[in-house]
Chains A and B, each alone.
Chain A
Amino acid sequence: MAREKIVSFSRLSDSSKALRTTLNPKLVRRSFLKLAGAAAALSGIALAPRMTRKVLAGTDMAKRKAYPGSKIVRTICTHCSVGCGIYAEVQNGVWVRQEVAFDHPLSRGGHCCKGASAIDMVTSEKRLKGPMKRSGGQWKRLSWDQALNEVCGKLLEIREKYGPDAVHWNGSAKVSNEMAYLQRKLAAFWGTNNIDHQARICHSTTVAGVANTWGYGAMTNNVNDIRHSRLIFMIGSNAAEAHPVAMQHILYAKEVNNAPMIVVDPRFTKTAAKATDYVRIRSGTDTAFVMGLVNQIIENGWYDKEFVRTRVAGFSEMRRVARKYTPQVVEEITGVPASEVTRIAKLMAEHRPGTVIWCMGGTQHSIGSSNTRAYCILQLVLGNMGVSGGGANIFRGHDNVQGATDMCVLSHSLPAYYGIKDGSWKHWCRVWGVDYDWMKSRFHSKEYMNKKGFTLGRWYEGVIQEDKIDQYTPIKAVVFWGCASNSQSMYHKLKKALDKLELVVVIDPFPTMTAAACEKDNIYLLPCSSQYETSGSLTSTSRQLQWRYKVVDPVHDCKDDYEIMAEFTRRFGCADRFYKNLKKIPEDITRELGRGSLTIGYNGQTPERIKKHTDNWHTFDIDTLQAKGGPCDGEYYGLPWPCWTETHPGTPILYDISKPVAKGGLPFRARFGIKHTYDDGRTEDLLAAPGVANPGSEVMGGYPEFKDIVPGTNWKTDLSQKTIKEALRRGMAPFGNAKARCVVWNFPDKVPIHREPIHSPRPDLIARYPTYEDKPKQYRVYTRFKSEQKTDWVKEFPLILTTGRLVEYMGGGAETRSNKYLAELQPNMFAEINIKLANDHGIRDGDMVWIESPNGGKIKVMAKISDRVDEKTIFLPFHFGGIFMGRSLAANYPKGTIPYAIGEAANVVTNYGYDIVTQMQETKTGLCKITKA
């Protein structure tokens, strides 16, 4: 493997010669041996081989410094959501090297290759050096003032001419909570709901499915808690590549608890290599497989009867559906042998508590919001919820995608999941200190204030209108603020939109593929600094808030996001209102967003408390994440939300009724009413059964949410927070105590059922498991389901197409492909092809091949013969960009910013197809054909 990587890497070695520092020293010839060297200094100190001890502290070695006068800044990696700690060593305002954060409670100093070269985000030569626009086909450098005047002037012009909804904002999961919150606030002040970000195409189906099951849509336990698991069930998660440091804790559980590690995936991933049991399913059949497990667990009497009786609603209705997924039916749909279904179910029943981990393999499907609910139901019947070692451990993607989701940089909600109904607007207007009627006047009409906007996956339809749009104006301008365009499916259509828009604005440290794919004179690049050149809080996948301290000042002629936001709002003429409560940036923003985000308990995490946790991360226990002594004594690391008050320790495990609410316990949320009558006429009490509540609760049993403590408000809208405090005083959860539900009556499929992917390789199954009817007005655009699902696609496009992550890269890859060491490891875009398939097509390893999708996209990539995929599946990594349908766009980048590695964007060939509830793109299952180039 490594050899192969080196040999294939010839393009880079020349270009990076200037960077070589380890050179041949033949200039001075001097023989000088230093045999003893530092050996003497080593005596008496073991080299911290366990890597859990800080070597420097209190020894005479501390005096010997390679960089005299340097200081260490604690900060957080900007790549994935695990949230690894970084010690940045800074000398004279320059980040000189990365030190090892051995005492970080999550990562214990560990990094994957991306985190190990985090410093490159600041030092990369490929960074944008100043604002630019394309004029006459050439990139032209601008002053900030001119660039901002032109961009804002054009935006205002478009707003004036076409209305506020003619601009679409793509926000970011890569910025701080504070900045994400400002992005959503900006869209509101602009007067549109056309704002979205990466969460739409990452875990939107998780948030919808999971929140509708038990209250909140986030990971229920935390990464460290997996250390207590007796079984690890990973479905659609390749943590070894996507969340490598989380594997530290997963492998610990595997080894120490002798926990079976089951990996369910269409591809034999690097994670599968570490599994005890690997199950290969056909892509897009998760619901069938998991409901098959649920069926076996119930029918064999292995389910947790007491848990189901007291804390689960809709069980018998769900059971009737699950019964249809017998092992034989599951085998027919998924390809997993019937005996394996029973065996895995038995394994899960015998090893409790077990954890279920899922990622985009489960979410990116047209039935994604059913898949995620099926996983929840599995954990409910096993009684694995609300316990240490159990839980739905949903690994989020980007470093702050949990936070940006919580801040709802989304077209269907205001921050903290308040939605976009009148009450929600009134709540946030109160927090912002602006008049509701003024806010209303910013919108085209009141209707558009309450109408969901375009999504990240489909905004381009607002431009090209190949599917009918449901908005008074087409989209004329798009702003990408920390968001890659090549992560969106149907990229060839998106490119069409880029070339048709009046204005494209990219705010990013790197030009991103957008700069190259957009080939008209309509584009501006505004270089914001990296997140190491600014500060703010961010929320890891474990719901922990950490403070990302600023390491150095913005490099080159970059401005940090807050500054750019201030310039925008000033030019939009709304700065006074926008910054009414915000004087100290970013801390005042943390306070304002906390004051309004009561639904998810962001109110207890003041900037001071978050910083205190980050400053004292060494005091937290690796197994419990609780501080033992010190300034944070008894609190959980990062004050995992909900953190109800400024003295609350945070909630490390959601729905854990073994602890008092004030000490981090919670029941399931009462979100769906008190009673429900199902289709069969059965009426069920939705509150938890008598006797089930957190210790110290005034009511020992179910109770509804708190309201009218302050008349006219409830726990979510009482800005005085008296309601929340009153609930805690009585030992109760502000949001009530209910059952989790297996039947989500507000979804098209009340109980998760299998439906074939839009582009299914099994025409015989389409008739039995058809997709939904078309949805004419889904997030302002007509979305085809049934009319797109054709039984004869497979004749011409016989192969399954799936996409995924590489450990070396992140997202659209603009940052990581601009890192020479990471690019060296993965220089080429490739397609993984099984040996049998390759031989049948006369394709040999390293050959160039064309891959074509039924929707008109095609890409030319290198064939990589691999056993990871089966003979009917092609796998593509989705990080590449810079080449489009066989044509290099390298010349389109501003000079000196072409990433070290460029390649075809996989999303040119990912197929049409979207989730019925959230419009998640179906990029994990599609069809394609392959030909030798």
Chain B
Amino acid sequence: MARMKFLCDVERCIDCNGCVVACKEGNQVPVGINRRRVVTINAGRPGEKSISVACMHCSDAPCIAVCPVNAIYQREDGIVLVNKDICIGCGYCFMACPFGAPQFPKGDTFGARGAMDKCTFCAGGPAKDFSEKERRLYGQNRIAEGKPPLCAAMCATKALLAGDGDVIADIYRKRVFRRGSGANAWGWERAYKGR
């Protein structure tokens, strides 16, 4: 069984926010909720790097472990989803998540918010496939259509990869290998500093 994973190639990510808007437009995510975001470090300085981050669909997901009402679950393919009918909006998953993935549609502070919302890997939710309810609460169910998530599919530079972890790891490995030696190799600057 394949396990679904995201991988963002930081040598390719240009901080164009295509992934962010593809997600929002495709799933009609409300303004203020960020299932995905692009984080940039060292902006404007040599060494500037950007990376697109969303729910990592962890194999051993801390959010599932801490959810007091068992609203969060993992599918066989590794996609972590939340059942919004069960979620009580406590925010415990937000504290547990190392990536800040869980979002809360209403209010800014603890206690005053609705059910948790996060990246679904474009796999919809527990409601019936393609139902109005699924679309309204979770967005598209592209996985059920046999299609990849919008963010990666629409990535301008093919930095963001999504799919079977083994397959995307292989693509990335080949990409790094092909970059070869010189300025593009990983760790080159560290290993050959001053040369």
A interface, CB within 8 angstroms of B: 1-3, 5-6, 9, 12-13, 16-17, 19-26, 28-39, 41-43, 45-51, 55-56, 59, 61-62, 64-66, 97-98, 100, 102, 107-117, 119-120, 240-241, 244-245, 247-248, 251, 254-256, 258, 260, 268, 270-274, 276, 278, 807-808, 820-822, 824-825, 866-869
Contact = CB atoms under 8 A, between A and B. Distances in A.
A1 B76 contact: no
A866 B27 CA distance: 33
Interface stretch (B57-65, B90-98, B127-135): B127-135
Given A34-B126, A102-B153, 14 more contacts: A12-B32, A22-B105, A22-B137, A35-B73, A37-B143, A38-B143, A51-B158, A51-B161, A61-B147, A64-B146, A65-B130, A100-B147, A254-B184, A255-B178
Interface in B31-65: 31-34, 37-40, 43-46, 48-50
Contacts of B184: 254-255, 258
30 contacts: A1-B38, A2-B37, A12-B31, A21-B28, A22-B117, A23-B114, A23-B137, A24-B84, A26-B115, A36-B75, A37-B126, A37-B144, A49-B161, A51-B152, A55-B148, A66-B140, A110-B158, A111-B154, A112-B17, A113-B21, A116-B19, A116-B22, A244-B14, A247-B157, A248-B157, A273-B48, A274-B14, A276-B183, A867-B44, A868-B44
A112 B156 contact: yes
Nearest to B22: A116
B179 A16 contact: no
B127 A32 contact: yes
B147 A55 contact: yes
Contacts of A113: 16-18, 20-22
Nearest to B4: A47
Contacts of B161: 49, 51
Contacts of A22: 27-30, 33, 105, 117, 136-139
Contacts of A66: 130, 135, 140-142, 144-145
B16 A112 contact: yes
Contacts of B145: 56, 61, 64-66
Contacts of A260: 183
A43 B76 CA distance: 11
**Pairs A-B, 4 closest by C-beta atoms:** A61-B146, A24-B114, A49-B163, A47-B163
Given A97-B26, A251-B157, A270 B39 contact: no
A272 B14 CA distance: 10
A32 B129 CA distance: 13
A273 B10 CA distance: 11
Given A255-B184, A866-B43, A867-B45, A24 B16 contact: no
A31 B16 contact: no
B146 A62 contact: yes
A33 B73 CA distance: 8
Contacts of B75: 35-37, 39
B25 A38 contact: no
A783 to B, nearest CB: 36
Contacts of A28: 85
Nearest to A277: B183
Contacts of A39: 1, 75-77
B146 A59 contact: yes
B73 to A, nearest CB: 6
A821 B38 contact: no
Nearest to A60: B146
Contacts of B144: 37-38, 41, 64, 66
Given A49-B162, A116-B25, A110 B18 contact: yes
Contacts of B168: 49
Contacts of A65: 130, 145
A241 B135 CA distance: 32
Which residue, A22, A102, A822, has most C-beta atoms of chain B within 10 A? A22
Contact of A25 (B37, B39, B50, B115): B115
Contacts of A273: 14-15, 48-50
A260 B183 CA distance: 9
A48 B163 contact: yes
A3 B32 CA distance: 11
Interface in B61-117: 73, 75-77, 83-86, 89, 105-106, 114-115, 117
Contact of A868 (B43, B115, B123, B180): B43
A276 B22 CA distance: 29
Contact of B15 (A50, A256, A270): A270
A29 B85 contact: yes
A91 to B, nearest CB: 12
Contacts of B129: 37-38, 64
A110 B156 contact: yes
State the main secondary structure of chain A at its contact with B. Answer: loop
Which residue, B14, B142, B180, has most C-beta atoms of chain A within 10 A? B14
A703 to B, nearest CB: 44
B24 A256 contact: no
Nearest to B146: A61
A11 B175 CA distance: 42
Contact of A248 (B2, B38, B156): B156
Contacts of A49: 148, 152, 161-164, 167-168, 171
B183 A241 contact: no
Contacts of B1: 39, 43
B194 interface: no
Contact of A807 (B16, B39, B86): B16
Nearest to A49: B163
A248 B11 CA distance: 11
Contacts of A256: 178-179
A22 B183 CA distance: 44
B32 A31 contact: no
B126 A824 contact: no
Contact of A117 (B21, B34, B40): B21
Contact of B156 (A62, A247, A867): A247
Nearest to B179: A255
A116 B39 contact: no
Contacts of B114: 23-24, 26
A251 B101 CA distance: 29
Contact of B155 (A13, A110, A825): A110
Contact of B30 (A16, A32, A268): A16
B147 to A, nearest CB: 5
Contact of A821 (B21, B158, B167): B21
B164 A98 contact: no
A98 B25 CA distance: 9
B136 A109 contact: no
Given A47-B164, A47-B167, A109-B154, A25 B137 contact: yes
Contact of B18 (A2, A111, A271): A111
B148 A48 contact: yes
Contact of B14 (A31, A32, A240, A276): A240
Contacts of A111: 18, 22, 154, 156
Contacts of A109: 153-154
Nearest to A274: B14
Contacts of A50: 171
Contacts of B153: 48, 51, 100, 102, 109
A57 B163 CA distance: 18
B22 to A, nearest CB: 4
Contacts of A17: 30
A782 B130 CA distance: 64
Which residue, A29, A108, A110, has most C-beta atoms of chain B within 10 A? A110
B83 A32 contact: yes
Contacts of A248: 156-158
A102 B14 CA distance: 20
A20 B137 contact: no
B143 A42 contact: yes
A28 B154 CA distance: 35
A25 B84 contact: yes
A244 B155 CA distance: 10
Nearest to A114: B21
B136 A46 contact: no
A24 B72 CA distance: 15
